[in-house]
Chains A and B, each alone.
Chain A
Amino acid sequence: MEKRAIYNNRVLPYLLLTPQLLVTLIFFYWPALQVVHQSFLLEDAFGLQSSYVWFENFQRLFADPDYGRAFGVTVIFSTVVAFLSLAIALLLAVMADRQIRGANAYKTLLMWPYAVAPAVAGVLWLFMFQPSLGVVAQSVKRMGLDWNPLLNGTHAMTLVVLAGTWKQISYNFLFFLAGLQAIPRSVIEAAAIDGASATRRFWTIIFPLLSPTTFFLLVVNIVYVFFDTFGIIDAVTGGGPARATTTLVYKVYDDGRLGGDLGGSAAQSAILMFIVVALTAVQFKYVERRVHY
């Protein structure tokens, strides 16, 4: 997607890009390179002794059946959370964008739960779903379901999916709403005058106009489910029971904890970076082409 009308200037674009490039190079690329370097090393926690083992860390990883499992868990988890949180947020944003009474109050109420710190949100989820103490868990049990995420992998997965989705709804809602409000009313009114039904108007006019926002959110949500959910998993299930909720990122964190397996952990980070870079490239090259501007 390129602009037709552009400016020509030899110096200005570089000047404008300098701050971001500087910060990115120093605080992103330099540490990332170190991670790649680490993945070829065998090292103790304090970095007192290290030696090159080259691809051994990777070989060990691919021989580990748990790594394959973590892949599967990640795919299921990411797909479900990204889909649910985007769909629910879009529905709510479309409803809140209607000119109904109290719309502003609704918007506020939908946005501010986002202000709960994730560090505290983890505790709240335990509060609600801990099998014997949780407020919600007790109601679920009373309905006759033997709710036990401590031992039942499916229950544990449901729990982290719920928590992960919940945390992202407000974020998506905010951007969908901003996107919806940026659509000129005149366009929608014109369609209404042409007699298009509300549903039809949404799918043929609003949704395509919203696609830059949707694309942005898709990218951000994939990042989110890949990385930011690790705090939730850590607080709610700790990756258990029996690894049922261990995602790739949680495994990176878990294996590297307290310098346990720095090389293996770094190798996983390196692989993740590679996957994510490939995903980004695919998104920009193919998905974006289908997005309307």
Chain B
Amino acid sequence: MIEHRPLANLIAHIVLWIGIAIVAFPVYLTFVASTHEPTIISNGQMPLTPGSHFLENYERTIFIGPSSTTRTPVGRMMFNSLVMAVAIAVGKIAISIISAYAVVYFRFPLRKTIFWLIFMTLMLPVEVRIYSTYKVVADLGMLNSFAGLTIPLIASATATLLFRQFFLTVPDELVEAAKIDGAGPLRFFWDTIVPLSRTNMAALFVILFIYGWNQYLWPLLITTSGDMQTIVIGIKKMIVTSDALTEWQIAMATTMLAMLPPVAVVVFMQRWFIKGLVETEK
């Protein structure tokens, strides 16, 4: 604790509440929409307070299913999303941390070239070249597979950049000390770099997990079999864009449920942030 300033703390509370109000408002609306009957929502007459159909809507969503003939169960879709999100998050963190380590802690021929090769990709996400990437995946026979679903999304340098930025702030004395102790580069990586990167890894994991969880266009393109469907595609199927009736309350209830795993990840990963804090205070 640095100091106690009741007024400053009060301001902090107020600012945070305003921030939450702005940021969480759409989520709140989703929740409100999931507790009303569909007519009110379709007609744009939804009030700002929750309605009385909470139990009914969620019961139908969880136990009966979004519609009478929905074939892919919600559980299966959640599972696919989970596999995809974890694979993307873990894969990206893994390849990024080692390549950032190589770029920062080694001198070797072609280093500059490789550095630029990797960081040029920073700013061009998959959407801009989605159809040519699709062709590559098809040529490699990776359609309808988790590999095709995840590996192309790993090909971006954002995580590598984050780790590089972080490694540059790690004091040089640590390496020198490790060298004196006779620790080689791999030992130093495992014993010092990985534990130090924990806060960053946790932050990245949250971001990448959610990024993977929320993918829509890519899985839609890559998969054709029903058992590979993700929850976001499932939700989009419920939101009708033309002609038929949208059962908003069910779509929104499913949206709320689909948010639970990412929220669980956020809450769980927070412990790591806090841990990072406690350790630096030691």
- Residues of A at the B interface (CB closer than 8 Å) are 1, 3-10, 12-14, 16-17, 19-21, 23-24, 26-32, 34-35, 38, 88, 91-92, 95-96, 98-100, 102, 104, 106-121, 123-125, 127-128, 130, 132-135, 166, 169-171, 174-175, 177-178, 181-186, 188-189, 192, 198, 212-213, 215-216, 219-220, 222-223, 226-228, 230, 249, 252-253, 269, 272-273, 276-277, 279-280, 284, 293
> Which of B108, B129, B151, B156 touches A35 (beta carbons < 8 Å)?
B129
Q: How far is the CA of A219 from the CA of B120 in the complex (A)?
A: 12
**A-B contacts, 14 listed (Cβ < 8 Å):** A1-B168, A5-B176, A7-B175, A24-B155, A91-B19, A92-B19, A109-B23, A116-B214, A119-B232, A181-B274, A181-B280, A192-B3, A216-B165, A276-B124
Residues in B with CB closer than 8 Å to A91 are: 15, 19
3 closest Cβ pairs, A-B complex: A133-B44, A115-B262, A31-B132
> Which of B26, B166, B179, B210 touches A125 (beta carbons < 8 Å)?
B26
Interface contact B235-A124, CB-CB below 8 Å:
no
Interface contact A17-B129, CB-CB below 8 Å:
no
Other than A12-B185, A116-B259, A117-B255, give 9 A-B pairs with Cβ distance below 8 A.
A6-B175, A23-B95, A26-B155, A96-B12, A175-B162, A178-B273, A219-B122, A223-B158, A284-B119
Interface contact A222-B123, CB-CB below 8 Å:
yes
Interchain nearest-CB distance for B97 vs A (Å): 9
Query: 1/0 per residue B57-96: CB within 8 Å of A?
Result: 0000000000000000000000000000000000000111
Interface contact B127-A227, CB-CB below 8 Å:
yes
Interface contact A34-B26, CB-CB below 8 Å:
no
Q: A5-B175, A269-B129, A280-B120 are in contact. Are A212 and B104 (CB under 8 A)?
A: no
Query: 1/0 per residue B151-174: CB within 8 Å of A?
Result: 110111110111001111100110
Interface contact A92-B16, CB-CB below 8 Å:
yes
Interface contact B46-A178, CB-CB below 8 Å:
no
Q: A27-B133, A109-B24 are in contact. Are A118 and B199 (CB under 8 A)?
A: no
- Residues of B at the A interface (CB closer than 8 Å) are 1-3, 5, 8-9, 11-13, 15-16, 19-20, 22-27, 29-30, 33, 43-44, 46, 48, 94-96, 98-99, 101-108, 111, 114, 117-125, 127-129, 132-133, 135-137, 140, 151-152, 154-158, 160-162, 165-169, 172-173, 175-176, 179, 184-186, 188, 199-200, 202-203, 206-207, 210, 213-214, 216, 232, 235-236, 239, 255, 258-259, 262-263, 266-267, 270, 273-274, 276-277, 280-281
> Which of A3, A108, A111 touches B172 (beta carbons < 8 Å)?
A3
> Which of B8, B111, B118, B160 touches A198 (beta carbons < 8 Å)?
B8
Interface contact B258-A117, CB-CB below 8 Å:
yes
Residues in A with CB closer than 8 Å to B157 are: 20, 24
**CB-nearest residue of chain B to A121:** B26
In the complex, how many residue pairs between chain A and chain B have their CB atoms under 8 Å apart? 311
Interface contact B151-A276, CB-CB below 8 Å:
no
Of A9, A23, A27, A284, most buried by chain B (CB within 10 Å of CB) is A27
Q: A212-B169, A222-B123, A269-B129 are in contact. Are A92 and B15 (CB under 8 A)?
A: yes
Q: How far is the CA of A18 from the CA of B19 in the complex (A)?
A: 42
